[in-house]
């Protein structure tokens, strides 16, 4: 279901019914207000506020996989800043106000290039014009290896229990420091890539378990949805206690 399209249609229908009643039907009405008009008048401001908030301010998303571990876990509910990279029209997704561009290290939500109906979340590692290389678990940007510092062994739980034993490294992407997971003996995508203009190279923090730009290419600017900023809820049915309270309110870096 295209929720953005539903909101636009619902807002428009309620608004038209309410307006027609105010201008045409109400002045000639002698009896009780029709139920349809009552519902339209009540729901129009609700639909309009949700539409504006979701389209131009923040939108909630749920993390469905382990590809961004350890930064994001399956079951995390996150808030995405919709105006970080410019304001776009709902449904059409055309940018009408440009407010900036992703920086290296940003965690972004975007429409999957192979199927725009699906939202993906990854970390931007390559900007337009960059030369990206990934060999032997090391990311290189424009000939410069991104520093990695060992930070111990990962102990997973819930839906992420299968990643127990992976090695944690703290990676520095030109000043953006974040944790990644690596399995030393596991094969993953390698190669060299040049990022075209207007596009971005993205990777998951769970480097050996991520379907990202190494496999299907770069993300176009028009596919960007927004910047992930905060975890507002975690709901993992595989974990004891279901809700990981300590993750609520965590800033995404």
Active site residues: 67, 122
Please report where in the chains the tokens 């009896």 appear, as a residue. Answer: 31
Whole-angstrom distance, CA of residue 47 vs CA of residue 7:
6
Whole-angstrom distance, CA of residue 227 vs CA of residue 105:
11
């Amino acid at each position: 279901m295209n929720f953005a399209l539903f909101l636009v249609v619902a807002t428009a229908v309620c608004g038209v019914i309410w307006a027609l009643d105010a201008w045409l039907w109400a002045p000639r009405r002698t009896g009780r207000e029709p139920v349809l008009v009552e519902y339209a008048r009540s729901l129009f401001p609700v639909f309009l506020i949700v539409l504006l908030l979701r389209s131009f301010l923040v939108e909630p998303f749920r993390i469905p996989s382990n590809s961004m571990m350890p930064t994001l876990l399956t079951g995390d509910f996150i808030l995405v800043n919709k105006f970080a990279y410019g304001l776009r029209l709902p449904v059409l997704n055309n940018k009408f106000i440009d407010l900036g561009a992703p920086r290296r290290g940003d965690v972004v939500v975007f429409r999957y290039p192979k199927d725009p109906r699906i939202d993906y979340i990854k970390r931007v590692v390559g900007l337009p014009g960059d030369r990206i290389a990934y060999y032997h678990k090391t990311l290189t940007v424009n000939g410069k290896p991104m520093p990695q510092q060992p930070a111990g062994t990962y102990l997973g739980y819930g839906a992420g229990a299968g990643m127990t034993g992976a090695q944690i490294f703290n990676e520095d992407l030109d000043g953006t420091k974040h944790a990644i997971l690596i399995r030393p003996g596991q094969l993953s995508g390698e190669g060299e890539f040049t990022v075209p203009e207007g596009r971005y190279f993205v990777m998951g923090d769970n480097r050996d378990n991520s379907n990202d730009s190494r496999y299907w290419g770069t993300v176009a600017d028009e596919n960007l949805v927004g910047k992930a900023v905060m975890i507002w809820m975690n709901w993992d049915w595989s974990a004891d206690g279901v809700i990981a309270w300590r993750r609520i309110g965590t800033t995404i870096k």
